Structure 1
Amino acid sequence: MRLSTVILPIHRWAEGQKIWRRAEDLGFHAAYTYDHLSWRVPFRDGPWFGAVPTLTAAATVTQRMRLGTLVTSPNFRHPVTLAKELMSLDDVSGGRITLGVGAGGTGFDATALARSDQEPWTPKERADRFAEFVTLLDRLLTEDGKDGVSYDGTFYSAGAAQNIPGCVQRPRLPFAVAATGPRGLRLAARHGQAWVTTGDPKLFESGTPEQSVAALRGQIDKLGTACAEAGRDVAGLDKILLTGFTPDRSRPLESVDAFVDFAGRHRDLGFTELVVHWPIPDSVFAADQNVFEEIAAQALAQLN
């Protein structure tokens, strides 16, 4: 099992770079950031920087740790321009980028580019856009020949879009597809090198840790079915849990022992990577920094 962290893009770089460097010093497998224009309270009205510039800067102050988004969505992105940015970011980082990608939510990002009279996307349209977004992005990052990629879709198009010389990672940088529904799981099985979940949101407020484990087991079973239908072995797909959204969301960071217990239960389900939020005081991600660093330094050795 691997341990990674997610660093919210809320710090001016003079301070933020210290956190990214520290994450690498602590031995995290990867450090991700959210790809939003803004996020929920209490971060809605505070500092929030762009994901791609932040990751580019992080790539210049780290050397070994993988970097990525958790997650990018179609809410305010277009595959053609995103592919160019990702190819460039993969080059700057020396091939250390993972694209976490999801369908997106219904919050602030979903309406930032909308007209005042525009209706929000329906769940079906959101799923339709996600499928087209991932499929076209896969082509754009894989087909890096001089003829480029041309595509006329329902929501997105590309006209001989070129991405020369292509990604450092071949045939392209890996996708970690966030999904829990059948269509999203099929996308993960078809295009993903990893699958991402935060658990069952229906259990967030009043569920139990036992119910959460059962729900996650069910999600992994459904992922296995989707992989089988795609002619793929589910064992070949990394399984990432972004922590902090299950019923026991705060307990794993209370002590090394608590984290080892949490990680062991989820390792036994089949998860290969756990992602913990870098502590942010006075927020839902508050945690003791010293304990957090002890977990980073000691927990996996006890678990493995």
Structure 2
Amino acid sequence: MFKNIKPLVYAVKHKNGDVIKNSSSGGAFTALSDVFLKEGNAVASCIYNYRNDRVEFRIYDDVETRNLARGSKYIQANIDDGFKKLVVWLNDNPNRNLLVVGSGCQMEGLRLLLEFKKLRERAILVDFICHGATSSGLWQEYIKNKGIKGKIDFLCFKDKRVNWHNPTAFAKVKGKEVSIKDFSEWFYGGWAIRESCYDCPFTKINRNTDITIGDFWGIENVIPDFADPMGVSLMIIQSERGYSLFEKIKDSIIFRECSQQDCLQPRLKSPPDCPKDRELFWHDIQMKGLEYCSRNYKEVVPEYFFCHCFIKKVKSIARKLFHSSWFKKL
């Protein structure tokens, strides 16, 4: 068995600009999965199934499928028998290993299963910093109400056409974009996520996985010269095997080591707060409909974005004040 280590923290950006553009943040998932695919191993993660409009757990060993797996998905995944298939795959491929990526709760359940099956050492587990997962049932009702159920060709919750801090959420139907901003705001506002997410035990730095990845929110306040409007990944190395994998991706990334304090953000300190009007939201969904909620539950700014804008504004005011003639007269 491998040993856990004191978590090591890195700010990471892929060297390939196209990878960053098509990733949620800095391309950490692509860098990690490329190693496994090039070595003849496989990757397991959640992918949006356009045939049935569900997020599903899948095992794959090709770049094309991996590319489909990139990007944030604000919908609860349907694991179904995915973990069972993963165990079968490991038993059927004794000379190959797996990189498995998922939420903290998914990876903890899988870790216990793999340890019980004595297969843990053949899987590197990567969990991501998670705000929560919205109801898959709500998603089905939402796209049905919009008239796009079964018609979506492409889905993106974090397109960075403006920049990383202002993502655009949309679905493509027959080449035309359909905004899903309201569903995204229900996620950010915490109204639509599972109740268990408000009491999540995985909102901390130390985890039982090998690597934790996510957006490095606040990077401009920690390493200003490393900040990037297209995104920076946060990578927390949790084990010796995680560090060994990190060593293998160094040629494809640029990185900076940080302290644990530097990387702290809301979902590394505590679960999301349950909105006071959450019950009202679900009541309104059932009694007043989705269109009513689209109009009345909106314009929610994520905590990390508010903090970023507030700090930026304070710095701007401070600079103007320092250079003002009034200040110099004091």
TM-score by length of 2: 0.30
More strand by share: 2
Higher RCO structure, 1 or 2 (CA under 8 Å, sep 6+): 2
Q: Which has the larger radius of gyration?
A: 2
TM-score by length of 1: 0.32
